[in-house]
Amino acid sequence: MEADCIFCKIVAGEIPAQILEQDQHTLTFMDIAPATRGHALVIPKRHATDLWEIEPAELSAVAQAAQRQSLRVRDRLGADGVNLLNSCRPAAWQTVFHFHMHVIPRYAGDPLKLPWEPIPGDMDEIAAAAAELR
């Protein structure tokens, strides 16, 4: 547990939260600044700062809990779709430095927009990046 981490404090019961589910490794609770109705967060109970630091087994447990939550919003709230979102480091919009996955229910006509406009990329640059990543 990190002493100044708000999510660690939720895990410890020091800060109240609308908890939806928990198991040995994860905690799922409602986001207090929801993007849509039913927006929840899934976190590992053990502190990991971000995607680059979380242990693979804990990442798997979070992904499985996120899938369970996505099925609940489909079945209980009538969501038409779902976004799973993780932000890793400030450059990628991370603001709470305890790994978490957003489960954002999507409804036809809701006001959320993609954070970028998908347009065709430069094929030479795509190939160059792919070569560096292989």
* Nearest of 72, 111, 66 to residue 85 by alpha carbon: 66
- In this structure, are strands 26-30 and 19-22 parallel, antiparallel, or unpaired? antiparallel
3-state secondary structure of 23: coil
**C-alpha span between 12 and 27 (Å, rounded):** 11
Catalytic: which of 25, 39, 47, 100?
100
Cβ pair 7, 96 in contact under 8 A: yes
CA distances from 10 to 46, 102, 106 (A): 12, 16, 26
Q: What is the DSSP letter of 38?
A: T
100 is catalytic: yes
Q: Which residues are catalytic?
A: 100
